[in-house]
Amino acid sequence: MLKRAAITMDGQRRWTDASGLLRDYGVALLMSLGVTMTAAVLLPYLDHANIVMLFLLAVIIVAAGYGRGPALLVAVLNVLSFNFVFVPPYFAFAFDTRQATLTFMVMLVVGLIVGQLTARFRYQARIARAREQRASHLYDMARELSGALMAEQVVEISQRCIEASFQVKASLLLPDERSRLQAPFLLPGKLPVDLAIAQRCFDHNQPVDLDTASGQVAALWYVPLKAPLRTRGVLLVAFEQPLPPPIAEQRRLLDTVAVLIAIALERIHFATVARDTLVKMEAERERSSLLAGLSHDLRTPMTALIGLAETLTLRLAVEQSPYQDSLQAIREQAGRMALMVDNLLDMARLQVGKIRLHKDWQSLEELVGAAVRTLEQPLRDHPLWLDLDPKLPLVNCDAVLIERVLVNLLQNAAKYTPPGTAIGITAGVDADRLCVEVWDEGPGLPTGQEPILFEKFTRGQVASVVPGVGLGLAICRSIVEAHGGTIRAENRAAGGARFAFALPLEPPPPFETEDESDSEPDHDGEQ
Amino acid sequence: MMVSSELSLTVLIVEDEQAIRRFVRTALEDVGCRVQEADTLQRGLLEAGTRKPDLIILDLGLPDGDGVDFIRDLRAWSGVPILVLSARVEEYDKVAALDAGADDYLVKPFGVAELLARVRAVSRRYLQDPGGASVVTFGQIHVDLEMRQVTRADQPVRLTPIEFRLLSVLVSRPDKVLTHRQLLREVWGPVYVERSHYLRIYMGHLRQKLEADPTRPRHFITETGIGYRFCPA
């Protein structure tokens, strides 16, 4: 059946070997012989006209069964044998009588026409059958592909189906994450694959089916797998022998197959993406619920400790107890520990997985104000210089996290400079960035240490007496970098240290200025 | 420092951690409150219904359910003030709790002074006559809500209508944290609840006009990531 399926529109037969041809013509010869003998036997009972019918019947049978060539042979042989056996003089060819010539001509013409028509029907039936076959192959393939769950399955199904319906060797080349095609896994036999050609086919989304050297149809075709969104790979088809030029239908069919495969691959791609996203979200949720739980569990005893110590302090103060100082110390140490726990939890939150930013339009002035207010106690011994450009635009950032950066930098300045040292914040716009600087007039940073300050567990002074585990700056860097900004530390020319960070500015959101109906119009507008 | 029997409130603590319940109870009883305890949300709802407390202190991290749902349930039938306790990681839970109807929050760990200050502020607001005063004075600022007049050190201050509306919403609820959504809805209307940059810009204007040092405000306090609080003192 498959051999018959390989017949093209113009009736060319491929892969039909010489023995098949020989057999067809042999059958035609035998048929002619048989009908002559049958007619000879039946001659006493039949009219000449009926004998002619028998001969025509033989032509139809051969035409239906074996095609045009054998039918032609039978038609000619029949005419000759009829003339030889049944037209007087018997057992001799006689074309001299008008009678005999007419019979001869009519038989030949009728035989040829009938043979021709029958052969054409037969041929069209075969074409129809072949098409049906292909349709059913395509259908099977589509069904199997729709059930595939992995790219490997798609490769296997495509290979099997294409090999079955085209009698060719086939394979798929799939790209990796960087759109580089990978050598085919499950390579059937040895396909002389040229990965460079395949890559070109993939990149330009163009099939390659011509041999560049000879200009002939190549034995190895590269068909891009075009899916609705992008090309998903390349289909390799290796023909065992070069095809003769009219190959339009083959090509159309292969294109259809390629689309089927591409869609299957795209579906699998998106299924994978969806699954990965789900897994990531699940992991993210688990992580944040773990951290929230941890935070709750760690803070609860701290809260109780601080609260109870404070209650007790208040009572002892009333009684003028000598233990007030010890209790006050417990209270302070607990407070410090709580801060450390905060830092560790923050670090964990920022380091594990991707930071989720709750961005919104923020006023830096407000964030600085909030940070300074939070640190009222630690900063009380330091003169504070705030120099913020009054025309600072709003910045799209996570308020809580940027306040945390400011708090950490101010806290550091307060911690590592002697009381009375001036601390300041300067902020301005530089092109498309908001630049913020926290400076102090303290001893400055140890030379050469500036870059590693932002590493985890690094502290400016080795074995310093100032407590802390050095997470503050690492937290700052994580936050600033998550915003697409930069942070650096350096010594000021005038003495002291400077920590500067910059955040990208975005075009401001739309803002309708107020219609000032019951106050004087503001000529400058509000924006 | 300690003033006994200053607050005579019935307080319900919904908190699963016994140590915290004990410390909060001690601190509140020292100032004259009656304290009831519940260790689950379920029990908390029940107690809230039967004992009719004057104040509920609710831990947001209870294992048996979502504190925000508790607040919504409670708000369906009660206006009792709710003070929420939360760990710092749960910033956005605090906003959800406040939006759902909680009155204020405390971040763990907190001290006795902080706790008592919040309890006082919350209960003062609750017990106050809802009409409120039409004249508010803080620092050098004098606001007459009825006459729509604002003076600073006896000099008139000109505010735009929206600035005045924002100011009146803030000063009418002293010491209460108002979330961004709440302020946007009340001042600009429900359509504007997502446009928080309006709030940022107008808050800046108010501070420019009414604060001695707008960068270090004393009255219009930023609660980062949550909202604003007006402190008269």
Q: In what order do the strands lie in the sheet with A217-226?
A: A169-173, A231-238, A217-226, A208-210
- Return mean pLDDT, chain A: 80
Whole-number pLDDT of residue B208: 92
Contact between chains at A335 and B112 (C-beta distance less than 8 A): no
Q: Which residues contact A330 (CB under 8 A, 6 or more apart)?
A: A305, A309
pLDDT above 70 coverage of chain A, percent: 85
Q: What pLDDT does B170 receive? A: 92
Query: CA nearest B86 in A: which residue?
Result: A296
Mutate to test the interface with B, among A287, A302, A314 (most CBs of B within 10 A): A314
Find all residues with CB under 8 Å of A100, minimum gap 6, and list them: A83, A87, A94
Pairing mode, strands B177-179 and B82-86: unpaired
Q: How confident is the model at residue A522 (pLDDT cuts 50, 70, 90)?
A: very low
Supply the pLDDT for residue A8.
39
CB B45 within 8 A of CB B74: yes
Which residues 6+ apart lie within 8 Å of A425 measured at CB? A368, A384, A385, A386, A387, A388, A406, A410, A436, A437, A438, A439
Mean pLDDT value across residues A110-122: 82
Q: Are A71 and A56 in contact (CB under 8 A)?
A: no
Q: Is the pLDDT of residue A458 over 70?
A: no
* Higher-confidence position of A388 and A458: A388
DSSP sequence for B133-146? -SEEEETTEEEETT
Q: How far is B129 from chain A (nearest CA, A)?
A: 31
User: Are A292 and B161 inside 8 Å of each other by CB?
Assistant: no
Residue A273 has pLDDT above 50, yes or no: yes
Residue in A299, A394, A517 closest to B87 by CB: A299
CB contact under 8 A, B26 and A522: no
Per-residue pLDDT band at A246 (split at 50, 70, 90): very low
Residue type, position B166, single letter: L
Nearest Cα residue to B2 out of A356, A208, A318, A309: A318
Mean pLDDT of A472-488: 89
State whether the Cα torsion A333-A338-A342-A345 is positive or negative: positive
Judge: A307–B222 Cβ closer than 8 Å, yes or no.
no
Cα–Cα distance between A33 and A26 in angstroms, integer?
A: 11
What pLDDT was estimated at residue B3? 46
Hey, what are A508's tokens? Answer: 């401001």
Cβ atoms within 10 Å of A158's Cβ, excluding its own: 27
What pLDDT does A191 receive? 65
On average, the pLDDT of chain B sits at 87
Q: What is the mean pLDDT of residues A347-355?
A: 72
Burial of residue B152 (number of CB atoms within 10 Å: 0-12, 13-18, 19+): middle
Report the chain B residue with the minimal C-alpha distance to residue A302.
B109
With H, G, I as helix, E, B as strand and everything else as coil, classify residue A349: helix
CB contact under 8 A, A296 and B225: no
Q: Which ipTM was obtained for this model?
A: 0.88
Closest residue in B to A522 (Cα–Cα): B160
Query: Residue B202 and residue B219: Cα distance in Å, rounded?
Result: 15
Q: What pLDDT is attached to residue A426?
A: 95
DSSP character at residue B75: H
**What pLDDT is attached to residue A387?**
92
Locate the chain A residue with the closest alpha carbon to B16: A300
Per-residue pLDDT at B182: 92
Q: Which of A310, A327, A367, A403 to mutate to test the interface with B (most CBs of B within 10 A)?
A: A310
Interface test with B, best of A303, A386, A475, A512 (most B CBs within 10 A): A303
B52 min Cα distance to partner chain A (Å) = 26
Look at residue A111 in the predicted model and tell me its pLDDT. Answer: 78
- CB pair distance less than 8 Å for A369 and B161: no
Contacts of B23 in chain A (CB under 8 A): 303-304, 307-308, 311
What pLDDT was estimated at residue A93? 75
Looking at residue A515, what is its pLDDT?
A: 62
Chain B residues whose beta carbon lies within 8 Å of the beta carbon of residue A363: 200-201, 203-204
Task: Compare CB distances from B224 to A365, A399, A508 and report the shortest one's residue.
Answer: A399
The secondary structure element, H or E, covering residue B204 is: helix B196-210
In A305-368 the beta strands, taken as DSSP E runs, fall at 359-362
Nearest to B92 among A304, A307, A358 (CB): A358
Q: What's A355-390 look like in SS3? A: CCCCEEEECHHHHHHHHHHHCCCCCCCCCEEEEECC
pLDDT tens per residue across span B113-122: 889 989 988 8
Q: How far is the C-alpha of A389 from the C-alpha of A182, rounded, in Å?
A: 56
Of residues A51 and B49, more confidence is placed in B49
Contact check, Cβ <8 Å, B161/A386 = no
pLDDT at site A439: 94
Return the minimum-mean-pLDDT range out of A95-104, A436-445, A500-509. Answer: A95-104
Adjacent-strand bridge partners of A236: A171, A222
Is A11 in a helix, a strand, or coil?
A: coil
- Closest partner CB to A303 (pick from B30, B109, B217): B109
Q: Looking at the predicted structure, is the pLDDT value of residue B228 above 70?
A: yes
Q: Which residues of B touch A509 (CB under 8 A)?
A: 195, 197
* Residues of A with Cβ-Cβ distance to B115 under 8 angstroms: 307
pLDDT band at B58 (very low <50, low <70, confident <90, very high): very high
| Residues facing A220 on adjacent strands | A238
Distance CA A343, CA A336 (A): 11
Structure tokens at B166: 């924002």
pLDDT given at position A457: 59
Averaged pLDDT, A223-232: 87
> Lowest mean pLDDT: which of A189-203, A450-464, B138-152?
A450-464
Q: Which helix (H) or strand (E) holds B187?
A: helix B180-187
Q: A356: which chain B residues are within 8 Å (Cβ-Cβ)?
A: none
* Interchain CB distance below 8 Å, A403 and B224: yes
pLDDT at A314: 81
Smallest Cβ–Cβ distance between B224 and the set A365, A370, A388 belongs to A370
Q: How many CB atoms lie within 10 A of CB A357?
A: 16
Least trusted range by pLDDT, from A383-387, A396-400, A478-482, B130-134: B130-134
Q: Has residue B219 got a pLDDT over 90?
A: yes
Mean pLDDT (whole number) for B55-76: 88
| Cβ neighbours around A325 below 10 Å, total | 11
pLDDT of residue A62: 85
What pLDDT, on the 0 to 100 scale, is given for residue B90?
A: 61
Pairwise CA distance, residues A478 & A456, whole Å? 10
Q: How many CB atoms lie within 10 A of CB A435?
A: 17
Structure confidence at residue B158 (pLDDT) = 92
Domains of chain A: 3-139 (no CATH), 142-271 (3.30.450.40), 276-349 (1.10.287), 357-504 (3.30.565.10)
A385 falls in which pLDDT band (50, 70, 90)?
very high
In this predicted structure, the answer to whether residue A455 has a pLDDT above a threshold of 80 is no
What is the residue type of A308? Answer: L
Least Cα distance to A206 among A189, A194, A192, A222 occurs for A222
Alpha helices in A10-97 (DSSP H): 18-42, 48-66, 68-86
Which residue among B90, B158, B200 sits closest to A366, beta carbon to beta carbon?
B200
pLDDT tens-place string over residues B163-201: 999 999 999 888 889 999 999 999 999 888 888 899 999
Over residues A348-358, mean pLDDT: 74
Would residue A496 be called left, alpha or beta, if left means φ above 0 and alpha means ψ between -120 and 50 degrees? left
* Model pLDDT for residues A173-184, shown as the tens digit of each residue: 888 888 888 776
pLDDT for A456: 64
A155-169, A302-316, A488-502: range with highest mean pLDDT: A488-502
pTM: 0.64
Q: Phi then psi for A361, rounded to 5 degrees?
A: -75, 120
| Closest residue to A307, CB basis, from B27, B89, B159 | B27
Minimum mean pLDDT range among A5-19, A120-134, A300-314: A5-19
Using an 8 Å Cβ cutoff, are B7 and B33 in contact?
yes
Summary count for chain A: helices (H), strands (E): 12, 11
At A45, is the secondary structure helix, strand, or coil? helix
- pLDDT > 90 fraction of chain A, expressed in percent and rounded: 17
Residues of chain B contacting residue A311, judged by C-beta atoms under 8 Å apart: 23, 26-27, 30, 112
Q: Which of A348-352, B43-47, B107-111 has the lowest mean pLDDT?
A: A348-352
Six-digit token string for A281: 């979200």
Q: How many CB pairs under 8 A join A and B?
A: 145
The DSSP code for A507 is: P
pLDDT reported for residue A171: 83
pLDDT of residue B181: 92
Cβ distance A369 to B215 less than 8 Å, yes or no, reads yes
- Contact flag B24-A307 (C-beta cutoff 8 Å): yes
